[in-house]
Amino acid sequence: MRKALVAGNWKMNGSSDSNKHLLEGIIKESASFSSVDVALFPPSVYLQQVQEALVSTELAWGTQNLSQFEKGAYTGEISAPMLNDFGCSYVLIGHSERRCLYAEIGLDQLILDYIIAEKYAVAIQAGITPIICIGESPEEHEQGKTEEVIARLVDIVIAQNGVQALSQAVLAYEPVWAIGTGKSATPEWAQEVHSFMRERIYKHDPETAESIQILYGGSVKGDNAAPLFSMPDIDGGLIGGASLDADEFVKICQAAVSY
Ligand code: 13P
């Protein structure tokens, strides 16, 4: 049986004051979702604040991105050893908002998939669990290319690092058309895609396919979380907007308890 994981991606939001309030609100209720893995992803300038608040709790934390390089002249980037310095257990890799930004400077999606596979390997080597985000754009969705987009990244990750490495990772299906739009995928649609991802891994290694947590992300709120999490291949959520509100985020974590 897989454990549920709920991850809160704060994106570029927060301040020292609002973080304090948010962290207190989540920690206060954490006994009500103690059977669920929960991780928070603040902007990295607030890592120390989050680490100090969570270090004596069961909650984990991580960053929203990671460089594939260990150190050097990479202005604005953060390395795996730096994440280790701040006790990060997780890192988000390949979020569509990062992809879009890089696509703007001319990188093709296939090259990006290779870079994501490199970042994933760096995280695993550093003992940090990567949450690899995958999802189709609105155009790809309309063209019926969902499975093609997902298969491409899953296959590259497996080819570059071997299927066993996936047993130390988490996958997140985040359809770009559902992110921040208020239009979540239906539980049935998400289940179909998650099942496709699991089957793709199953062909290489049934054990890893059974054990890997696959999260859904895209407009998850307190009131639509339970039907999503009740699907057999949805093992929790990657939450954006709703992770900035303690009550709403707690509701989502509680919905994962009986999943
Ligand atoms: P929303 O929950 O705001 O749609 O964002 C999802 C997301 O991108 C999480 O990484």
Share of the chain above pLDDT 70, in %: 97
Residue nearest to atom 2 of ligand 1 (CA): 240
CA of 72 to the centre of ligand 1 (A): 31
pLDDT tens-digit profile of 207-226?
A: 999 999 999 999 999 999 99
Structure confidence at residue 102 (pLDDT): 63
Q: Which two tokens stand for residue 164?
A: 């066993």
b/e map 127-144, b = 16+ CB within 10 Å = ebbbbbbbbbbeebbeee
Which ranges constitute the DSSP H helices of the chain?
Answer: 16-28, 47-54, 80-85, 96-104, 109-125, 138-142, 146-161, 187-202, 206-211, 225-229, 246-255
- Measured between alpha carbons, how far is residue 36 from residues 73, 161, 190 in Å? 39, 28, 20
Q: Tell me: pLDDT of 103 over 70.
A: no
Q: Which atom of ligand 1 is nearest to the CA of 172?
A: 10
Q: Tell me: pLDDT of 185 over 80.
A: yes
Instruction: pLDDT band for 104, please (50, 70, 90 cuts).
Output: very low
CA angle 138/142/146 to nearest 5° reads 80
The CB of 217 under 6 Å from ligand 1? The reply is yes
Q: Return the bridge partners of 140, or none.
A: none
The CB of 237 under 6 Å from ligand 1? The reply is no
For the residues 140-149, what does the mean pLDDT come to? 94
Establish whether 210 is a catalytic residue. Answer: no
Closest by CA to 133, choosing from 3, 49, 11, 230, is 11
CA of 11 to the centre of ligand 1 (A): 9
Distance CA 223, CA 216 (A): 15
Instruction: For the chain, give the mean pLDDT.
Output: 94
For the residues 71-89, what does the mean pLDDT come to? 96
Distance CA 52, CA 120 (A): 26
Structure confidence at residue 234 (pLDDT): 98
For the residues 7-29, what does the mean pLDDT come to? 98
For the residues 174-185, what does the mean pLDDT come to? 95
For the residues 18-43, what does the mean pLDDT come to? 98
Closest by CA to 173, choosing from 230, 94, 117, 227, is 94
Establish whether 192 is a catalytic residue. Answer: no
Among residues 97, 136, 140, 174, the one annotated as catalytic is 174
Domains delineated in the chain: 5-255 (3.20.20.70)
Instruction: pLDDT band for 53, please (50, 70, 90 cuts).
Output: very high
Instruction: pLDDT band for 259, please (50, 70, 90 cuts).
Output: confident
Among residues 95, 140, 141, 248, the one annotated as catalytic is 95
Instruction: pLDDT band for 161, please (50, 70, 90 cuts).
Output: confident
pTM: 0.95
Q: Which atom of ligand 1 is nearest to the CA of 95?
A: 10
Structure confidence at residue 224 (pLDDT): 97
Structure confidence at residue 1 (pLDDT): 78
The CB of 146 under 6 Å from ligand 1? The reply is no
Q: Where is pLDDT greater, at 107 or 187?
A: 187
Q: Which atom of ligand 1 is nearest to the CA of 184?
A: 4
Do 137 and 146 touch, CB atoms closer than 8 A? no
Structure confidence at residue 63 (pLDDT): 98
